[in-house]
């Protein structure tokens, strides 16, 4: 059975961030994800999560200087210490939020990203995260949304995961990005599933609700069920209008308003 997690960076933007937990739970979501928790204290977030009876499915490591275009540190030579510090910060939050997985963003080609640094950093980070029982994921992102993002395709991600060769690193399969970059969603999902740690969805090409656009998600959900996928599916989309008004697509999966 498909398990949907609300992405609180994009959904429920009608209310302040800390109020989005209760909104998501009221609609029937059992888990949430978001980009970054770092504007708030871990205890404050844990209290919101617990009060709403939600699980924390995923969040990202600090990405570096976001305002100035940084999108992760893990592949940037000369930033290794900063990267490990960012991991420690994320692990502190993961512990407070009982979050079993973290997304490690790759970084930008134009900032000097390279595979050797990426693999070495991920290996060290995976070993450290394993001590806390946390898994890491890497996510290929399409070059239209983030031109120059270092991790561009699932093939590259699989090569990196194989080179890192640690049991707690896997793929964050965002089907919105995959549709733009590679297509052939069902066949690729089937081939990649044993590497997948987390899935995200949105309608293509505008990143609105999954029932708006060119991808037919009910087919992919049935496929995932048939393949025995047990993980979360993060709803990482920008609602076209009001969040709740656009949730009817999720009624068959335990979410309604
Ligand atoms: O797909 C995305 O944009 C996110 O999952 C992310 O973590 C980076 O922006
Ligand atoms: Mg994503």
How far, in Å, is the centroid of ligand 2 from the Cα of 86?
19
Catalytic residue (one of 33, 197, 209, 236): 236
180 lines ligand 1 (CB under 6 A): no
Rounded to the nearest whole angstrom, what is the distance from the C-alpha of residue 256 to the centroid of ligand 1?
25
pLDDT at 31: 98
Does ligand 1 lie within 6 Å of residue 30's CB atom? no
3-class secondary-structure state, position 32: strand
Q: ipTM value of the model?
A: 0.98
Q: Output the CA–CA distances (angstroms, integers) from residue 234 to 67, 163, 175, in the order listed.
A: 25, 27, 10
Instruction: Note if 139 is an active site residue.
Output: yes
4 pLDDT above the threshold of 90:
yes
Cβ-Cβ contacts under 8 Å for 101 (sequence gap 6 or more): 57, 58, 134, 135, 136, 137, 197, 198
**Is 214 a catalytic site residue?**
no
Helix (H) or strand (E) holding 6: strand 3-7
For residue 55, the cross-strand partners are 31
Which of 163, 224, 232 lies closest to 188, judged by CA? 224
The tens digit of pLDDT for each residue in 24-73 reads 999 999 999 999 999 999 999 999 999 999 999 999 999 999 999 999 99
Mutate to test the pocket of ligand 1, among 33, 86, 174 (most ligand atoms within 8 A of CB): 174
- At residue 138, the pLDDT reads 99
- The string over 200-237, giving b where at least 16 C-beta atoms fall within 10 Å of a residue's C-beta and e elsewhere, is bbbbbeebbbbebbebebeebbebbeeeebebbbbbbb
Rounded Cα gap, residues 160 and 157, in angstroms: 5
Task: Give the nearest ligand 1 atom to 200 CA.
Answer: 5
Task: Please state the pTM of the whole predicted model.
Answer: 0.98
pLDDT at 257 over 90: no
Q: Output the CATH code of domain 3-253.
A: 3.20.20.150
Q: Which two tokens stand for residue 100?
A: 């079993």
pLDDT tens-digit readout, 89-121: 999 999 999 999 999 999 999 999 999 999 999
Residues 245 and 81: their CA atoms lie apart, in Å, by 45
Distance CA 236, CA 241 (A): 15
CA distances in angstroms from 217 to 29, 62, 223, listed in the order given: 18, 31, 10
> What are the b/e assignments for 57-68, b being 16+ CB within 10 Å?
bbbbbbbbeeee
What is the per-residue pLDDT across 106-165, written as a single tens digit (0 to 9) for each?
999 999 999 999 999 999 999 999 999 999 999 999 999 999 999 999 999 999 999 999
The residue ranges of every structural domain in the chain are 3-253
pLDDT of residue 247: 98
> 212 in ligand 1 pocket by Cβ < 6 Å?
no
The owner of tokens 């204290």 is: 41
CA distance 122 to 119: 5
Give the separation between CA 206 and CA 88, rounded to whole angstroms. Answer: 35
Q: Cα separation of 58 and 37, whole Å? A: 10
- Residues in CB range of 180: below 8 A, 6 or more apart: 142, 144, 145, 204, 205
Q: Is the CB of 139 under 6 A from ligand 1?
A: yes
């Amino acid at each position: 059975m498909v398990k949907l997690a609300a992405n609180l960076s994009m959904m429920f933007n009608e209310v302040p961030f800390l109020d989005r937990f209760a909104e998501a739970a009221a609609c029937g979501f059992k888990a949430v994800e978001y980009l970054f928790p770092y504007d708030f204290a871990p205890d404050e977030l844990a209290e919101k999560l617990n009060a709403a009876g939600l699980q924390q499915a995923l969040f990202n490591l600090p990405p570096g200087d976001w305002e100035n275009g940084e999108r992760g540190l893990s592949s940037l030579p000369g930033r290794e210490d900063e990267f490990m510090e960012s991991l420690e910060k994320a692990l502190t939050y993961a512990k407070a939020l009982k979050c079993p997985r973290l997304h490690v963003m790759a970084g930008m080609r134009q900032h000097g990203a390279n595979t050797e640094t990426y693999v070495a950093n991920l290996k060290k980070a995976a070993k450290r995260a394993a001590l806390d029982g946390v898994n890491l994921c890497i996510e290929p992102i399409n070059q239209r949304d983030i031109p120059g993002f270092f991790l561009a395709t699932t093939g590259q991600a699989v090569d990196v995961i194989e080179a890192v060769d640690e049991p707690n690193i896997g793929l964050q399969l965002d089907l919105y990005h995959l549709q733009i970059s590679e297509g052939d969603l069902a066949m690729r999902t089937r081939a990649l599933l044993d590497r997948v740690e987390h899935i995200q969805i949105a309608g293509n090409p505008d990143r609105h609700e999954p029932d708006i656009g060119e991808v037919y998600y009910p087919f992919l959900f049935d496929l995932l069920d048939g393949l025995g996928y047990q993980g979360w599916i993060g709803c990482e989309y920008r609602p076209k209008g009001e969040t709740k008004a656009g949730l009817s697509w999720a009624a068959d999966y335990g979410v309604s308003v």
